[in-house]
Amino acid sequence: MYDAPMSDPHIRKVRPTGPTSELMKEINAAFNSRDVDRIMSFFAEDCTFLMARGPEPEGRRVHGKAAVRKVLADRFRVITNMRWDHVDSFITGSRAVTVWMVTGTGSDGEKLNYRGCDLYEFRGDKILNKDTYWKLVEQRDRL
């Protein structure tokens, strides 16, 4: 068997498919830039985004790249300084989990300061499903 030298121009570099630590950092940086085009470059055309808030028990389901693009653009107009600070993450196969603190102030005065996580499913290096959760902060004692 012939082992070609690393400088051999006929050797094609193979990028690993699925999420990597580096890819997850790039996605986080894109979200923190609030550049919707940059963010959407990481999503598959048939993606689904389950938002932390919404009318259904699972939050708000947004399906398809165009719909996700619109909801993110709308969100960043309402919360212009939204930011996610990394806490932890792990990757297994085609899935990844990120844990973060989200901060920002909405145009209605709501202050965001929540710990949350995203459950990701990838097809190759594109986000197929993104399911977001965050802690609900309450000032009164409840179960």
Q: How confident is the model at residue 138 (pLDDT cuts 50, 70, 90)?
A: confident
pTM above 0.75, yes or no: yes
Task: For residue range 6-20, list pLDDT tens digits in order.
Answer: 455 555 444 557 899
CB atoms within 10 A of CB 85: 11
Task: For residue range 24-54, list pLDDT tens digits in order.
Answer: 999 999 999 999 999 999 999 999 999 999 9
Helix (H, G, I), strand (E, B) or coil at 124: coil
- The long-range contacts involving 18-22, CB below 8 angstroms and separated by at least 24 positions, are 18/91, 18/93, 18/94, 18/122, 18/124, 18/125, 19/91, 19/94, 19/95, 19/96, 19/120, 19/122, 19/125, 20/91, 20/125, 21/89, 21/91
CATH number corresponding to 21-134 = 3.10.450.50
